[in-house]
Amino acid sequence: MTEPPGRGCATCAVVAVQLVLVAVLFVGAWGEEYFSWDPNYVPEDVDPYIVKMGVVAVVAAAAGVFAGVRGAGAAAYGQAVVVVITLIVMAVTNAMG
């Protein structure tokens, strides 16, 4: 059997929104750490950005478990990919700051 129409699109949209959110947080942390016109600028700590990315990872993990229980394999795998990518980005952000 095939999945109902539109179900795959919703899964892709959720994954895309989560990855865009992680990218925005990473760019914000990168900008905070490395970009300033002031030569005396001392960058802020990147820990708040890492915590926000962690929230995205936790939400994606919970959504993946929920999707797996409901039998939506594609959604569960998509959320697993989001968790892995988010953890990698969190590690890179931590290494930056």
Of 7-11, 35-39, 69-73, 90-94, highest mean pLDDT: 90-94
pLDDT digits (tens, 9 = 90+) for 18-54: 999 999 999 888 887 777 777 787 777 888 889 999 9
pLDDT of residue 1: 44
pLDDT digits (tens, 9 = 90+) for 76-88: 898 999 999 999 9
pLDDT of residue 58: 94
| CA atoms of 7 and 87, how far apart (whole Å) | 26
pLDDT of residue 3: 53
